Amino acid sequence: MIHFERFKLDNGLTVLFHKDVTTPLAVVNTLYDVGARDESEEKTGFAHLFEHLMFGGSVNIPDFDAPLQRAGGESNAFTSNDITNYYNILPAKNLETALWLESDRMLSLGFTPKSLEVQRNVVIEEFKQRYLNQPYGDVWLKLRPLAYHVHPYKWATIGKVIKHIEDAKMEDVKAFFHKHYNPANAILCIAGNFELEYVKTVVNKWYGEIPRGIKPARILPVEPDQEELREEIIERNVPTDAFYYAFKMSERRNEMYYMADVLSDALGRDKSSRLYISLKKEQKLASEIGAYITGSLDNGLLVISGKLNDGVSFETFDKALWKELKKLEEHPISDKELARLMIKMHTSKEFQDQGLLNRAMNLCQFELLGDANGINEEHEIYKAIKPSHLQETAIHILKPTNCSILKVKATQNAE
């Protein structure tokens, strides 16, 4: 059980407090309800570029990192298609330093031209390092637009193309800030060995005077139901053929989400999973194979991916894979198999929950879903899943007309 308190400031900021008496550290985690899905199609990569600019100084403080480091702390952030999350870890007795810094950049940024110019370059190098200069690095740049035709999940958080980042202007940066960065669009979590009254006092002190903003309405194009098998083959200078089967699945707030999650575990989480045993160990078609879900807030993807053994054709693999998937539709999984998936899930949850930062981040994410207490309820939702649910989910999801396949063909294997 992860305990927390919740209060709201007059300006709309939601604050969560998680008390942990065992640690001398504090975490200040801020989730902004903005991600790559909120970008315009002509200016992609912006939420992420903006995350970099948040470290370039705020209205009253020229540098974000140095004062935090001077307080013995450190900070980082990440951007996904759904959210942008900033965190600070520091000695508990210097909590106010983190609040001072975080609240000031919520109030307003410095918007220095130098910061924009440099971070554009840094992000372009990040684009190259992670997406262009790695074998199979550009797979998600290709798979997203194959699986999504309308919804903004069709581009990656880094952006569609480098040009969008090169073209970012200061006026875009300011407009983005004013639209998305305000107390009403944020969830703050403070974790550490404090008293609630103290937390209320210091949060009010630093955040109380930030003007109330408007939580921007989110109206996104809805991805229509997929009705055909999609397939794209790309040739790359890589040593091995690779495959990505992406199946549409439900949004985060649906119970089907949890079922798809367990289904992906059954397919390919461990060395005891179905695809690993059948396609790798028994039939020797793949050298690597796994399954996972993207965890998106809107309709997400269940992905099966891996690499072919040398000499195995995509066609042979394809037949064998669909045959394996069909089994899940035809027969419910055994209670024993389900018990195995559940205990693995339980173990990983226990390990995740022991980190203070993880707890703070997850509380914010569940609060975004509607209630931070979801962190304590999730396990029961998983436990209520029956083999018949998984069978229904398999029938619903694991069908060719719901699937987008990306094949990466090694140049040397191409005809």
Partner 1 sequence: MLNRTLSPELKEIDKIDFVKPQIFDISKDVKLFFMKEVPNETARLDLYFDAGTINGDTGIASFVNGMLLSGTDEKTSTQINNEIDELGGFFESGVSNENAVVTMYSLRENVLPILKVMTDAIQNLVFHQHEVEELVNDRRQKFKTSMEKVSFLAQRAFQQRLFSESIYGRVTNESDFDTISTDSLKHFFKKNYLNGLTKVVVVGDLTQDEIDEIIDLIGSWASNTTTEFEKNIKNLKGYSHLVKDGAVQTAIRVGRMLFNKTHEDYNDFLILNTIFGDYFGSRLMSNIREDKGYTYGIGTMVAELHSVGYFIIATEVGKDVKDATLTEIQHEITRIQTELVGEEELNLVKNYLMGQLLKSADGPYSMTDLYMSVEPYGLDLDFYNTSIDSLNNITPERIQELAVKYLNWNDMTVVSAG
Residue at 180: amino acid letter:
H
**78 is a contact residue toward partner 1 (CB under 8 A):** no
Nearer CB in complex with partner 1: 30/240:
240
Cα separation, 41 vs 39, in Å, equals: 6
How many Å apart are CA 293 and CA 83, to the nearest integer?
Answer: 17
Stretch that binds partner 1, among 89-97, 139-147, 244-252, 317-325 (CB under 8 A): 89-97
Paired with 303 in beta bridges are 246, 292
Residue 61 is encoded by which pair of tokens?
A: 């403080």
Choose which of 40, 129, 316, 334 interacts with partner 1 (CB under 8 A).
129
Q: Please report, as residue ranges, which positions from 9 to 38 form the binding site for partner 1 (by CB under 8 A).
A: 22-25
d(C-alpha 184, C-alpha 100), whole Å: 18
CB of 133 to partner 1, least distance (A): 5
The token pair at 15 is 């604050």
If binding is defined by CB under 8 A, does position 387 make contact with partner 1? no
Place of tokens 């990466």: 408
- Structure token digits, residue 263: 């289904």
What 3-state DSSP class applies to 305?
strand
Tell me the two tokens of residue 143.
Answer: 């798979």
Residues within window 211-240 making contact with partner 1, judged by CB under 8 A: 237-240
Q: Which of 3, 8, 41, 117 binds partner 1 (CB under 8 A)?
A: 117
Q: Which helix (H) or strand (E) holds 246?
A: strand 242-248
CB of 98 to partner 1, least distance (A): 9
Q: By rule CB under 8 A, what string of x and - marks binding of each residue 235-274 to partner 1?
A: --xxxx-----------------------------xxx--
Q: Give the one residue of 5, 126, 138, 223 binding partner 1; rule: CB under 8 A.
A: 126
Task: Please state the closest distance from residue 258 (CB atom) to partner 1, in A.
Answer: 18
Please report which residue ranges of 128-254 form alpha helices under DSSP H: 139-147, 162-166, 170-180, 196-207
Stretch near partner 1 under the rule CB under 8 A, chosen from 53-61, 211-219, 362-370, 372-380: 53-61
Touching partner 1, residues 316-335 (CB under 8 A):
none
CB of 45 to partner 1, least distance (A): 14
Quick check: 61 binds partner 1 (CB under 8 A)? yes
Pairing of strands 14-19, 25-32: unpaired
Check residue 122 for interaction with partner 1 (CB under 8 A): yes
Candidate list 8, 40, 41, 128; residue touching partner 1; CB under 8 A:
128
In sequence order, the β-bridge partners of residue 188 are 15, 30
- 188 interacts with partner 1 by CB under 8 A: no
Q: Which is nearer to partner 1, 136 or 392 (CB)?
A: 136
Question: Is 104 a binder of partner 1 (CB under 8 A)?
Answer: yes
Q: Please state, in angstroms and rounded to a whole number, the distance separating the CA atoms of residues 86 and 153.
A: 22
Q: Which residue's CB is nearer to partner 1, number 157 or number 402? A: 157
Q: Which residues pair with 231 in a beta bridge?
A: 405
Residue that the structure tokens 């480091």 belong to: 69
- Residue 396 Cβ vs partner 1, minimum distance, rounded to whole Å: 26
- Contact between 309 and partner 1 by CB under 8 A: the answer reads yes
Q: Using the rule CB under 8 A, which residue among 206, 257, 258, 366 binds partner 1?
A: 206
Distance CA 89, CA 223 (A): 38
- Asked if 40 is part of the footprint of partner 1 (rule: CB under 8 A), the reply reads no
- Chain positions 332 to 371 lying near partner 1, rule: CB under 8 A, are 336, 339-340, 343-344, 346-348, 350-351, 353-354, 356
Instruction: Give the shortest CB-20-to-partner 1 separation in angstroms.
Output: 10
Strand locations in 9-159, DSSP E?
Answer: 14-19, 25-32, 74-79, 84-91
- Rule CB under 8 A: say whether 102 interacts with partner 1: no
Pairing of strands 186-192, 74-79: unpaired
Indicate the SS3 state at residue 6: strand
Q: How far apart are CA 32 and CA 82, in angstroms?
A: 9
DSSP 221: P
Among the listed ranges 216-224, 284-292, 358-366, 385-393, the one in contact with partner 1 (CB under 8 A) is 284-292
8 A C-beta contact, residue 123 and residue 165: yes
Please give the size of the binding site for partner 1, defined by CB under 8 A. 77
Q: Indicate whether 313 belongs to the interface with partner 1 (CB under 8 A).
A: no
Query: Is residue 1 a contact point for partner 1 (CB under 8 A)?
Result: no
